[in-house]
Amino acid sequence: MQDFLQTLPKVELHLHIEGSLEPELMFALAQRNGIELPYATVQEAKDAYCFSDLQGFLNLYFQGMSVLRNEQDFYDLAMDYFRRAREEGVVHIDMHFDPQAHLQRGVPLEVVMAGLLKAKQEAEESLDLSIGMIMAFLRDRPAEEALHVLEQAAPYWKMLDAIGLDSAEKENPPSKFVDVFERAKQLGLVCVAHAGEEGPAEYIKEALELLNVERIDHGVRCLESEEVVERLRREQIALTVCPLSNVSLKVVEDLRDHPLPKLLSEGLKVTISSDDPAYFGGGMLTNHLACAEAFGWDKAVFRQLTRNAIEEAFTTQQRRDELLRRLAAI
């Protein structure tokens, strides 16, 4: 199974590039930029990655990314992850990034975009990897700020595949962002949103009805509403489920308690991603191996999950066909 899961042409639809910042690179960038970290050693940072909920994680996530200041830092961050993901057999990544988290530290959007886009281009040319770009908005910040950032991103609109919605979910319902998502739709951008991670099933319904999202990031709490499950099934809306993230952030106590098998038996379009691999114990291969062990899934289940992800990936029809052929060949 290990060999099969390594070879499987895995497609990651839910990855925060800032959450791929390994402590080793964090220390190197801190030194390069003369930034002091609250940890004395890499091990101390790793020991601090013990969370009781989403907010506890977000505090360290925003602190960690404070070492990202220059174009080269964003390039190094992304290339470091792309190489690691490729070694794990990943062939496509839809990458969320959080411009507001950098703008509020005084890092210009141009710096963020230049570094990430250079890494994307290089990975696509030399690593057999395709990359989608999802500009995400922080839902615990004002909607007006998100709208402003979306307008500010005008020079990059054509390089974006989608907009997303992330950060602290509780008390920040999708309805807060109707104007932002309407504007994105006007611009021809696809919309996705985190919903039903810590927030209720109602937020999934809102994201679908009010934000017109095409995919739901996480969505595991859909099972609390018959009506929401029925809609997700009928419309075959993809859920980008992140098993090890859900364990780390105590959405579930243990992976064996995770609703993934139930989501599958309900006929939902499930996919598997790593979310923030540097913080949650590993990337795509680790997540797949953990699921194999916890649920005893056979190859057919993993093939189906991968087919789902290939079908939903932000890429060209040509690349999608190629990835489907590669999946059929293993």
Q: Does 194 bind ligand ADE (CB under 6 A)?
A: yes
Angle of the 143-152 helix axis to the 178-186 helix axis, nearest 10: 20
Q: Does 276 bind ligand ADE (CB under 6 A)?
A: yes
- Nearer Cβ to ligand ADE, position 100 or 245? 245
Cβ at position 197, least distance to Zn ion in Å: 7
Which residue, among 116, 98, 221, has the nearest Cα to 166 in the 3D structure? 98
Q: Give which of ligand ADE, Zn ion, none residue 283 binds (C-beta under 5 to 8 Å, depending on kind).
A: none
- Nearer Cβ to Zn ion, position 69 or 215? 215
- Nearer Cβ to Zn ion, position 195 or 291? 195
**Tokens linked to 320:** 């999608």
Q: What end-to-end distance do the CA atoms of the chain give, in Å?
A: 12
**Tokens linked to 145:** 């700020």
Q: How far is it, in rounded angstroms, from Cα 266 to Cα 261? A: 9
Q: How far is it, in rounded angstroms, from Cα 193 to Cα 207? A: 7
Q: Does 275 bind ligand ADE (CB under 6 A)?
A: yes
Q: Give which of ligand ADE, Zn ion, none residue 167 binds (C-beta under 5 to 8 Å, depending on kind).
A: ligand ADE
Q: Does 167 bind ligand ADE (CB under 6 A)?
A: yes
Which residue, among 119, 111, 58, has the nearest Cα to 83 in the 3D structure? 119
Q: Does 94 bind ligand ADE (CB under 6 A)?
A: no
Binding to ligand ADE in span 18-47, by CB under 6 A: 19
Q: Which of 245, 271, 287, 315 binds ligand ADE (CB under 6 A)?
A: 245
Helix (H) or strand (E) holding 178: helix 178-186
Q: Does 166 bind ligand ADE (CB under 6 A)?
A: yes
Q: Summarize as ranges the residues that interact with Zn ion (CB under 5 A).
A: 275
The identity of residue 118, as a single letter, is: K
Cβ at position 146, least distance to ligand ADE in Å: 14
Q: Give which of ligand ADE, Zn ion, none residue 197 binds (C-beta under 5 to 8 Å, depending on kind).
A: ligand ADE
The catalytically annotated residue of 197, 198, 202, 312 is: 197
Cβ at position 100, least distance to ligand ADE in Å: 12
Summary count for the chain: helices (H), strands (E) = 16, 8
- Nearer Cβ to ligand ADE, position 19 or 115? 19
Q: Does 54 bind ligand ADE (CB under 6 A)?
A: yes
Residue indicated by tokens 């801190």: 30
**Residue 196 backbone class (left: φ over 0; alpha: ψ -120 to 50; beta: rest):** left
**Tokens linked to 4:** 């099969």
Strand pairing partners for 133? 95
Burial code of 172-184, b = ≥16 C-beta within 10 A, e = fewer?
bbbebbeebbeeb
197 is catalytic: yes
**Binding region for ligand ADE (CB under 6 A):** 16, 19, 54, 61, 166-167, 194, 197, 245, 275-276
Catalytic residue numbers, as ranges? 197
